[in-house]
Structure 1
Amino acid sequence: MRKAVLFAVLAIALLSAMDVAIKLLAERYPVLQVAFLRYAAGGLVASVGMALVRPGWPSRETAVANGSRALLVVVTATSFFYAISTLPLAEAIALSFVAPLLIALFGILILKEHLTARVAATLAIGFTGMLMIVGGRIGAGAFQGGAVLGVAAALLSALTYALSLVYLRHRAQRDPVITIVWFQNAVPFLILALPAALVWVPPAPADLALFAAVGLLGIGGHLSMARAFARAPAAALAPIEYTALVWGGLWGFLVFAELPTLATLAGASLIVAGTLWGQWPAMRPALGGARAENA
């Protein structure tokens, strides 16, 4: 379980750094183009990984299952990219924090996982912290005008992200990690090709390295997340998603000069406290099955 937690934390850190690069690019390029080039770079790196690891040709069932999940990946990426392009980074991430609650719920409904009282309490603490952040932004009138669409996009991405991670848990126990990551990047690349062509803006040479960094960070995050979900139940890993707010607040301040509000700081503190309380070592009853699976 310890390795699963470390992989999940690493995944969130890498994906948060990717969000920073995407927010920088979304200031100059359409969201569909940013998403397309992100998966173009990711698909290239994943294809190199496939060539090196040589996991074998995927079965029809593997291709259909992972290809279907790629549709959720596309909706998640494009909606969240739009959200972070219109909202401060920390607030967009805060809105996405309904995802861990949905991950736990879908884990129970779809994967038939057991949700202990400890896990439920941890998620409740995190949800309370998220409400504090969102309530602070609403009270300040920060969700007016075009930001309303950003809020809706963030919530949509949370829903599809939760479904995607639950299905990742399901596939990670059956398919090689590199195969999962390849489908998660190559198929969205194909899906987004035509929409991106319709809004295409020629990239500046200086931005090509940033697009490449987005792909590399995304691949690293997906590999780490797949390894985490292959080792532990979805409900147990769900609270770790909350650490994204720490990264989002830090990068938002350093790169975009975005100062978190007092409500954001208070909510973030509650979220982090709840996450730490729930992870070590109180989740042992919920994670006994995960140890057996990976013995």
Structure 2
Amino acid sequence: MFAVSPDVARPGLIGQGGGMSRAASPAIAFAVGVLGIATFSMMDAAMKGLGLTIGTYNALFWRGIVIVALGAAVHFARRPTAPSREAMVLHLRRGMVALVMSFLFFWGLARVPMAQAISLSYIAPLLAIFLAALLLGEKVGRASIAGSLAALTGIGIILFGQSRADLGDAAFLGSVAILGSAICYSYNLILARQQALRAGPTEIAFWQSLFVLTGLALAAPWAAVLPPADAWPKIVIAAVLGMISLMLLAWAYARGEASYLAPTEYSSFVWAALFGHVFFGERVTGYTLAGATMIVAGCLYAARRRPRPFVDAETQLP
């Protein structure tokens, strides 16, 4: 989501031009992807709390200001070269998709339990596997399909259990919003792969965040309200977690196929169940535990796939 020429000469790092100096192990890329999802889930918990106190728009807007400030400090400290035209188009495109995706998700998250929100969002990585084949020409391996089906079975178990609870109209509207966000997110995963092949993590983080903030700022004269003093620590924490997760995921997607890394998204359910229980007292049922077991099993099985060797980034560009 950042970078300079010295990084190009260092193994495992991405240069400003987007090329990768040396491929990382697929297992390492997968592990970093899981870590990025865990960090993202921590940010979700912080944003849920903010959404309940200052509203979804203000949580996103003020967090966005902090993220852009942090991203600029890291990005420009490394004296980067200007992004290529192709990279800038992708930054803009992904920023706009991320804006719609984020607002829908966090609006819904404030109205449904975290575990339910995450389970509904799992339609995204399932769609991304097939979008990767359609848009990027990636091969969909049997292990990815089998792992996704196992995870989908787990999601079905969870939704069956949650269907027995009456959560009200607000939860229904929240669920619809999250499903809409998931559709955006499936395309976002493909853009992440294309973006990571043309730019380094700090560049992606800065420009994407700037475009998201620019979109939010258009409504600021009517919707922005200065948060109370006790909300600012949560805003800063959410911003830092968001930056770290974006950088981790950009690093992973630069070194692994989207269809291979997409199943890491399923690990977010485990983190959502944990953080929802710890911070919001959301109960984890037997259905939730059974579904989570299936989801984790599907992720682990999908990770067993041996993707083809990662060749020079330029040969991977669509």
1:272 is paired with a residue of what secondary structure?
A: helix
Note the alpha carbon deviations across 1:212-238, whole angstroms, 9 max, x for none. Answer: 111110000000000000000001111
- State yes or no: 1:8 paired with 2:28: no
Judge which range, 1-10 or 232-241, deviates more.
1-10
Residue of structure 1 aligned with 2:226, choices 195, 202, 214:
202
- State yes or no: 1:147 paired with 2:201: no
Judge which range, 16-25 or 254-263, deviates more.
254-263
Structure 1, gaps ≥5 residues long: none
- State yes or no: 1:289 paired with 2:309: yes
Asked whether the equivalents of residues 99 and 161 of structure 1 are also in contact (C-alpha less than 8 Å), the reply is: yes
What is the Cα deviation at residue 2 of structure 1? 2.1
Corresponding residue of 2:195: 171
TM-score, L = length of structure 1: 0.94
Task: Tell me, in whole angstroms, the C-alpha distance in 1 between the residues paired with 2:86 and 2:190.
Answer: 17
How many residues were matched structurally? 288
Judge which range, 233-242 or 169-178, deviates more.
169-178
What is the Cα deviation at residue 123 of structure 1? 0.5
Alignment of 1:38-187 (within 5 A): 38-142=63-167, 144-187=168-211
Asked whether the equivalents of residues 79 and 154 of structure 1 are also in contact (C-alpha less than 8 Å), the reply is: yes
Corresponding residue of 2:5: none
1:145 is paired with a residue of what secondary structure?
A: helix
What is the Cα deviation at residue 199 of structure 1? 2.2
Amino acid at match of 2:180: L
Residue of structure 1 aligned with 2:301, choices 274, 277, 293:
277
RMSD: 1.4
TM-score, L = length of structure 2: 0.87
Amino acid at match of 1:133: I
Identity among equivalent positions (%) equals: 32
Amino acid at match of 2:131: F
Asked whether the equivalents of residues 143 and 301 of structure 2 are also in contact (C-alpha less than 8 Å), the reply is: no
Amino acid at match of 1:288: R
Task: Tell me, in whole angstroms, the C-alpha distance in 1 between the residues paired with 2:148 and 2:111.
Answer: 27
1:86 is paired with a residue of what secondary structure?
A: coil
| Larger helix share, 1 or 2 | 1
Corresponding residue of 1:257: 281
What is the Cα deviation at residue 118 of structure 1? 1.4
Amino acid at match of 2:149: A
Asked whether the equivalents of residues 61 and 224 of structure 2 are also in contact (C-alpha less than 8 Å), the reply is: no
Structure 2, gaps ≥5 residues long: 1-25, 314-318
Task: Tell me, in whole angstroms, the C-alpha distance in 2 between the residues paired with 1:197 and 1:35.
Answer: 15
2:53 is paired with a residue of what secondary structure?
A: coil
Asked whether the equivalents of residues 32 and 195 of structure 1 are also in contact (C-alpha less than 8 Å), the reply is: no
Task: Tell me, in whole angstroms, the C-alpha distance in 2 between the residues paired with 1:147 and 1:66.
Answer: 33
Task: Tell me, in whole angstroms, the C-alpha distance in 2 between the residues paired with 1:152 and 1:40.
Answer: 28
Task: Tell me, in whole angstroms, the C-alpha distance in 2 between the residues paired with 1:196 and 1:94.
Answer: 32
2:294 is paired with a residue of what secondary structure?
A: helix
Task: Tell me, in whole angstroms, the C-alpha distance in 1 between the residues paired with 2:118 and 2:138.
Answer: 26
What is the Cα deviation at residue 293 of structure 1? 4.4
